[in-house]
Protein backbone atom coordinates (compact mmCIF):
# COMPACT_ATOMS: atom_id res chain seq x y z
CA UNK A 1 0.00 0.00 0.00
CA UNK A 2 2.79 2.36 0.88
CA UNK A 3 4.63 1.50 -2.37
CA UNK A 4 1.54 2.17 -4.45
CA UNK A 5 1.18 5.63 -2.89
CA UNK A 6 4.79 6.45 -3.69
CA UNK A 7 4.31 5.37 -7.32
CA UNK A 8 1.17 7.51 -7.64
CA UNK A 9 3.02 10.47 -6.19
CA UNK A 10 5.87 9.95 -8.59
CA UNK A 11 3.50 9.80 -11.57
CA UNK A 12 1.68 12.93 -10.45
CA UNK A 13 4.99 14.73 -9.97
CA UNK A 14 6.19 13.62 -13.38
CA UNK A 15 2.94 14.79 -14.99
CA UNK A 16 3.23 18.10 -13.23
CA UNK A 17 6.80 18.68 -14.30
CA UNK A 18 5.87 17.58 -17.81
CA UNK A 19 2.90 19.91 -18.08
CA UNK A 20 4.96 22.90 -16.95
CA UNK A 21 7.67 22.37 -19.54
CA UNK A 22 7.35 23.28 -23.19
CA UNK A 23 5.55 21.21 -25.70
CA UNK A 24 8.08 18.59 -26.65
CA UNK A 25 6.38 17.85 -29.97
CA UNK A 26 6.17 21.50 -31.37
CA UNK A 27 8.74 23.61 -29.56
CA UNK A 28 8.39 27.36 -30.36
CA UNK A 29 11.28 28.88 -32.32
CA UNK A 30 13.92 30.38 -30.11
CA UNK A 31 13.17 34.01 -29.23
CA UNK A 32 16.00 35.29 -31.39
CA UNK A 33 14.59 33.89 -34.61
CA UNK A 34 11.15 35.12 -35.68
CA UNK A 35 10.54 38.91 -35.38
CA UNK A 36 8.98 39.82 -32.04
CA UNK A 37 8.69 42.64 -29.55
CA UNK A 38 8.84 45.52 -32.04
CA UNK A 39 9.02 48.74 -30.08
CA UNK A 40 9.11 52.39 -31.04
CA UNK A 41 10.05 54.80 -28.31
CA UNK A 42 8.29 57.15 -28.33
CA UNK A 43 5.43 55.32 -29.99
CA UNK A 44 3.93 58.46 -31.52
CA UNK A 45 4.84 61.60 -33.39
CA UNK A 46 2.97 64.88 -33.52
CA UNK A 47 3.54 67.13 -36.50
CA UNK A 48 2.24 70.53 -37.45
CA UNK A 49 0.85 70.50 -40.96
CA UNK A 50 3.54 71.39 -43.45
CA UNK A 51 6.37 69.93 -41.43
CA UNK A 52 8.03 66.60 -42.28
CA UNK A 53 9.08 64.24 -39.51
CA UNK A 54 10.29 60.76 -38.65
CA UNK A 55 10.14 58.22 -35.86
CA UNK A 56 13.17 57.00 -33.95
CA UNK A 57 14.65 53.64 -34.92
CA UNK A 58 12.65 50.81 -33.37
CA UNK A 59 14.03 47.92 -31.34
CA UNK A 60 13.06 44.38 -32.19
CA UNK A 61 13.90 40.80 -31.26
CA UNK A 62 14.67 38.22 -33.93
CA UNK A 63 17.21 37.01 -36.37
CA UNK A 64 18.93 39.65 -38.50
CA UNK A 65 18.72 40.96 -41.12
CA UNK A 66 15.21 42.24 -40.58
CA UNK A 67 13.12 44.05 -43.14
CA UNK A 68 10.19 46.34 -42.43
CA UNK A 69 7.07 47.27 -44.35
CA UNK A 70 3.99 49.39 -43.78
CA UNK A 71 0.57 48.34 -44.95
CA UNK A 72 0.31 49.80 -48.47
CA UNK A 73 0.03 53.62 -48.44
CA UNK A 74 -1.55 54.12 -44.99
CA UNK A 75 -2.66 57.68 -45.82
CA UNK A 76 -3.77 56.76 -49.33
CA UNK A 77 -1.37 59.26 -50.84
CA UNK A 78 2.04 57.81 -50.25
CA UNK A 79 3.17 60.50 -47.81
CA UNK A 80 4.05 57.89 -45.16
CA UNK A 81 6.97 55.58 -45.73
CA UNK A 82 9.15 53.18 -43.77
CA UNK A 83 12.82 52.54 -44.19
CA UNK A 84 12.82 48.83 -45.00
CA UNK A 85 16.11 48.17 -43.26
CA UNK A 86 15.95 50.46 -40.20
CA UNK A 87 12.19 50.54 -39.58
CA UNK A 88 12.22 54.34 -39.30
CA UNK A 89 8.84 55.74 -40.31
CA UNK A 90 8.82 59.06 -42.18
CA UNK A 91 6.07 61.53 -42.96
CA UNK A 92 6.51 64.12 -45.72
CA UNK A 93 5.48 67.76 -45.33
CA UNK A 94 2.45 66.99 -47.49
CA UNK A 95 0.85 64.58 -45.06
CA UNK A 96 -2.66 65.83 -44.43
CA UNK A 97 -4.12 66.79 -41.07
CA UNK A 98 -5.30 63.66 -39.26
CA UNK A 99 -4.30 60.74 -37.07
CA UNK A 100 -2.55 57.77 -38.64
CA UNK A 101 -2.20 54.50 -36.74
CA UNK A 102 0.44 52.51 -38.47
CA UNK A 103 0.90 48.77 -38.54
CA UNK A 104 4.37 47.49 -39.29
CA UNK A 105 5.27 44.10 -40.67
CA UNK A 106 8.76 42.90 -39.80
CA UNK A 107 10.24 39.97 -41.67
CA UNK A 108 13.36 37.90 -41.48
CA UNK A 109 14.45 34.50 -42.72
CA UNK A 110 12.52 32.82 -39.90
CA UNK A 111 9.21 34.41 -40.74
CA UNK A 112 7.28 37.64 -40.41
CA UNK A 113 5.09 39.31 -37.83
CA UNK A 114 2.68 42.24 -38.11
CA UNK A 115 2.49 44.67 -35.23
CA UNK A 116 -0.90 46.33 -35.32
CA UNK A 117 -1.13 50.07 -34.61
CA UNK A 118 2.37 50.10 -33.28
CA UNK A 119 3.03 53.76 -34.18
CA UNK A 120 0.78 56.81 -34.32
CA UNK A 121 1.36 60.00 -36.29
CA UNK A 122 -0.87 62.98 -35.64
CA UNK A 123 -0.78 65.93 -38.01
CA UNK A 124 -2.29 69.07 -36.56
CA UNK A 125 -3.35 72.20 -38.32
CA UNK A 126 -0.26 74.36 -38.14
CA UNK A 127 0.12 78.09 -38.44
CA UNK A 128 -1.94 79.35 -41.34
CA UNK A 129 -0.47 82.06 -43.52
CA UNK A 130 -2.26 85.42 -43.60
CA UNK A 131 -4.83 85.68 -46.35
CA UNK A 132 -7.88 87.59 -47.53
CA UNK A 133 -7.12 90.90 -45.86
CA UNK A 134 -9.78 93.55 -46.26
CA UNK A 135 -10.85 96.86 -44.79
CA UNK A 136 -14.54 97.57 -44.68
CA UNK A 137 -15.05 100.25 -45.82
CA UNK A 138 -11.93 100.13 -47.93
CA UNK A 139 -11.59 103.85 -48.32
CA UNK A 140 -10.89 106.58 -45.84
CA UNK A 141 -11.83 110.15 -46.59
CA UNK A 142 -10.85 113.26 -44.71
CA UNK A 143 -9.93 116.86 -45.26
CA UNK A 144 -6.56 118.42 -44.62
CA UNK A 145 -6.33 119.34 -40.97
CA UNK A 146 -8.56 116.52 -39.74
CA UNK A 147 -7.00 113.32 -38.46
CA UNK A 148 -8.80 110.06 -39.20
CA UNK A 149 -8.28 106.35 -38.64
CA UNK A 150 -9.50 103.33 -40.55
CA UNK A 151 -11.27 100.33 -39.07
CA UNK A 152 -9.11 97.31 -38.24
CA UNK A 153 -8.74 94.99 -41.22
CA UNK A 154 -10.27 91.54 -41.34
CA UNK A 155 -8.09 88.67 -42.45
CA UNK A 156 -7.69 84.92 -42.25
CA UNK A 157 -4.77 83.00 -40.84
CA UNK A 158 -3.25 82.33 -37.46
CA UNK A 159 -2.78 85.35 -35.22
CA UNK A 160 -0.85 87.23 -33.99
CA UNK A 161 -0.15 89.27 -37.08
CA UNK A 162 2.25 92.10 -37.65
CA UNK A 163 1.15 94.78 -40.08
CA UNK A 164 3.22 97.12 -42.13
CA UNK A 165 2.79 99.33 -45.14
CA UNK A 166 4.77 98.37 -48.18
CA UNK A 167 5.91 101.93 -48.71
CA UNK A 168 5.19 105.33 -47.28
CA UNK A 169 2.04 106.13 -49.26
CA UNK A 170 2.39 109.90 -48.99
CA UNK A 171 6.20 109.85 -48.86
CA UNK A 172 6.09 111.91 -45.67
CA UNK A 173 4.99 109.45 -43.04
CA UNK A 174 1.72 111.27 -42.37
CA UNK A 175 -0.14 108.08 -43.17
CA UNK A 176 0.85 105.33 -40.77
CA UNK A 177 -0.21 101.87 -39.70
CA UNK A 178 -0.57 100.31 -36.26
CA UNK A 179 1.71 97.28 -36.45
CA UNK A 180 -0.43 95.12 -34.19
CA UNK A 181 -3.98 96.12 -35.22
CA UNK A 182 -3.50 97.13 -38.86
CA UNK A 183 -5.45 100.36 -38.27
CA UNK A 184 -4.29 103.02 -40.74
CA UNK A 185 -4.15 106.58 -39.45
CA UNK A 186 -3.96 109.84 -41.33
CA UNK A 187 -2.33 112.74 -39.48
CA UNK A 188 -3.78 116.26 -39.48
CA UNK A 189 -0.92 117.50 -41.60
CA UNK A 190 -1.22 114.91 -44.35
CA UNK A 191 -1.15 116.62 -47.70
CA UNK A 192 -4.08 116.74 -50.04
CA UNK A 193 -4.24 113.78 -52.40
CA UNK A 194 -5.41 110.24 -53.05
CA UNK A 195 -3.21 107.49 -51.68
CA UNK A 196 -3.20 103.76 -52.29
CA UNK A 197 -2.17 101.92 -49.17
CA UNK A 198 -0.69 98.44 -49.63
CA UNK A 199 -0.58 96.45 -46.43
CA UNK A 200 1.70 93.54 -45.56
CA UNK A 201 0.45 91.14 -42.91
CA UNK A 202 2.89 88.67 -41.38
CA UNK A 203 2.65 85.83 -38.89
CA UNK A 204 5.05 83.08 -37.87
CA UNK A 205 4.19 81.13 -41.01
CA UNK A 206 4.75 83.76 -43.68
CA UNK A 207 3.89 87.24 -44.82
CA UNK A 208 1.67 88.49 -47.57
CA UNK A 209 1.20 91.85 -49.23
CA UNK A 210 -2.24 93.07 -50.15
CA UNK A 211 -1.88 95.73 -52.80
CA UNK A 212 -4.28 98.69 -52.63
CA UNK A 213 -5.93 97.32 -49.52
CA UNK A 214 -7.11 100.78 -48.53
CA UNK A 215 -7.59 104.03 -50.37
CA UNK A 216 -7.00 107.27 -48.48
CA UNK A 217 -8.45 110.47 -49.85
CA UNK A 218 -7.34 113.73 -48.28
CA UNK A 219 -9.42 116.60 -49.59
CA UNK A 220 -8.27 120.17 -49.47
CA UNK A 221 -9.22 121.84 -46.22
CA UNK A 222 -9.64 125.54 -45.63
CA UNK A 223 -6.41 125.57 -43.69
CA UNK A 224 -4.31 124.49 -46.62
CA UNK A 225 -5.15 127.47 -48.78
CA UNK A 226 -2.71 130.32 -48.34
CA UNK A 227 -4.53 133.44 -47.26
CA UNK A 228 -3.79 136.41 -49.53
CA UNK A 229 -4.63 140.09 -49.35
CA UNK A 230 -6.49 140.17 -52.63
CA UNK A 231 -8.52 137.01 -52.11
CA UNK A 232 -9.29 137.18 -48.40
CA UNK A 233 -8.26 140.34 -46.57
CA UNK A 234 -9.19 143.14 -48.92
CA UNK A 235 -12.83 142.00 -49.33
CA UNK A 236 -13.17 141.70 -45.54
CA UNK A 237 -11.64 145.10 -44.72
CA UNK A 238 -13.44 146.89 -47.54
CA UNK A 239 -16.72 145.62 -46.17
CA UNK A 240 -16.07 146.48 -42.54
CA UNK A 241 -13.57 149.32 -42.53
CA UNK A 242 -13.52 151.19 -45.85
CA UNK A 243 -16.37 153.48 -44.93
CA UNK A 244 -13.76 155.32 -42.88
CA UNK A 245 -10.28 153.99 -43.72
CA UNK A 246 -9.71 155.37 -47.17
CA UNK A 247 -6.88 157.70 -47.95
CA UNK A 248 -6.98 160.89 -46.05
CA UNK A 249 -10.45 160.52 -44.68
CA UNK A 250 -10.02 158.59 -41.44
CA UNK A 251 -7.39 157.37 -39.07
CA UNK A 252 -4.74 159.36 -37.36
CA UNK A 253 -2.25 158.40 -40.03
CA UNK A 254 -4.62 158.18 -42.98
CA UNK A 255 -4.38 154.43 -43.38
CA UNK A 256 -6.16 152.99 -46.38
CA UNK A 257 -7.13 149.36 -45.79
CA UNK A 258 -7.94 148.96 -49.47
CA UNK A 259 -4.21 149.14 -50.12
CA UNK A 260 -1.94 146.15 -49.70
CA UNK A 261 1.10 148.20 -48.53
CA UNK A 262 -0.83 150.01 -45.77
CA UNK A 263 -2.58 146.93 -44.55
CA UNK A 264 0.64 144.91 -44.47
CA UNK A 265 2.46 147.63 -42.52
CA UNK A 266 -0.33 147.98 -39.97
CA UNK A 267 -1.28 144.34 -39.63
CA UNK A 268 -0.35 144.13 -35.92
CA UNK A 269 -2.56 147.13 -35.13
CA UNK A 270 -5.36 145.76 -37.27
CA UNK A 271 -5.27 142.46 -35.38
CA UNK A 272 -5.08 144.18 -31.99
CA UNK A 273 -7.91 146.65 -32.60
CA UNK A 274 -10.24 144.12 -34.21
CA UNK A 275 -9.51 141.45 -31.57
CA UNK A 276 -10.22 143.85 -28.70
CA UNK A 277 -13.16 145.23 -30.65
CA UNK A 278 -12.06 148.86 -30.67
CA UNK A 279 -12.28 148.78 -34.46
CA UNK A 280 -14.53 149.28 -36.16
CA UNK A 281 -16.18 151.70 -33.73
CA UNK A 282 -19.71 150.68 -32.89
CA UNK A 283 -21.27 147.27 -33.02
CA UNK A 284 -20.10 146.01 -36.41
CA UNK A 285 -17.37 143.86 -34.79
CA UNK A 286 -15.38 141.28 -36.66
CA UNK A 287 -16.18 137.68 -35.82
CA UNK A 288 -13.49 135.51 -34.20
CA UNK A 289 -13.14 133.64 -37.52
CA UNK A 290 -12.57 136.92 -39.35
CA UNK A 291 -9.91 138.00 -36.86
CA UNK A 292 -8.36 134.53 -37.18
CA UNK A 293 -8.29 134.96 -40.94
CA UNK A 294 -6.24 138.13 -40.55
CA UNK A 295 -3.93 136.27 -38.15
CA UNK A 296 -3.57 133.45 -40.68
CA UNK A 297 -2.76 135.94 -43.41
CA UNK A 298 0.14 137.06 -41.23
CA UNK A 299 1.24 133.43 -40.56
CA UNK A 300 1.02 132.66 -44.27
CA UNK A 301 3.52 135.42 -44.99
CA UNK A 302 1.34 138.47 -45.74
CA UNK A 303 1.03 137.58 -49.42
CA UNK A 304 -0.63 140.05 -51.73
CA UNK A 305 -1.98 137.43 -54.14
Contacts (Cβ under 8 Å, ≥6 apart) of 305: 228, 229, 230, 231
234 binds ligand HEC (CB under 6 A): no
Cα–Cα dist 91/93, whole Å: 7
250 binds ligand HEC (CB under 6 A): yes
Instruction: Find the residue with minimal CB distance to ligand HEC.
Output: 241
Which of 93, 55, 48 minimizes the C-alpha distance to 75? Answer: 93
Region binding ligand HEC by CB under 6 A among candidate stretches 49-57, 167-175, 210-218, 270-278:
270-278
Specify the long-range contacts of residues 100-105, CB closer than 8 Å, at least 24 apart.
Answer: 100/74, 100/75, 102/70, 102/71, 102/74, 103/70, 103/71, 103/74, 104/38, 104/58, 104/68, 104/69, 104/70, 105/68, 105/69, 105/70, 105/71
Region binding ligand HEC by CB under 6 A among candidate stretches 47-55, 64-72, 107-115, 277-285:
277-285
267 binds ligand HEC (CB under 6 A): no
Tell me the C-alpha to C-alpha distance, in Å, between residue 74 and each of 47, 98, 153, 154, 242: 16, 12, 42, 39, 98
208 binds ligand HEC (CB under 6 A): no
Cβ 301 to ligand HEC shortest distance, Å = 20
Answer for which of 131, 226, 243, 247 binds ligand HEC (CB under 6 A) is 243
Answer for which of 151, 273, 295, 302 binds ligand HEC (CB under 6 A) is 273
Site for ligand HEC in 282-301 (CB under 6 A): 286
Answer for which of 5, 252, 287, 288 binds ligand HEC (CB under 6 A) is 252
Binding site for ligand HEC (CB under 6 A): 237, 240-241, 243-245, 250-252, 257, 266, 269-270, 273-274, 279-281, 286
Amino acid sequence: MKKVSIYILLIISALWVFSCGSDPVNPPPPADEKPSLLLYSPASLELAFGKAGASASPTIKGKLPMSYALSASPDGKGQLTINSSTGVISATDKLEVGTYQLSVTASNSAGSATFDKIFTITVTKGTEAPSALSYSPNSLETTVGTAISSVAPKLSGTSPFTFSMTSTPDAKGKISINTSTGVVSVATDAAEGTYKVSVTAANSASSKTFADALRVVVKPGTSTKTTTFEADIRPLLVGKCASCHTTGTQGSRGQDWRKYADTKTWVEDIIRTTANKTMPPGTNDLTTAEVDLIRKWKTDGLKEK
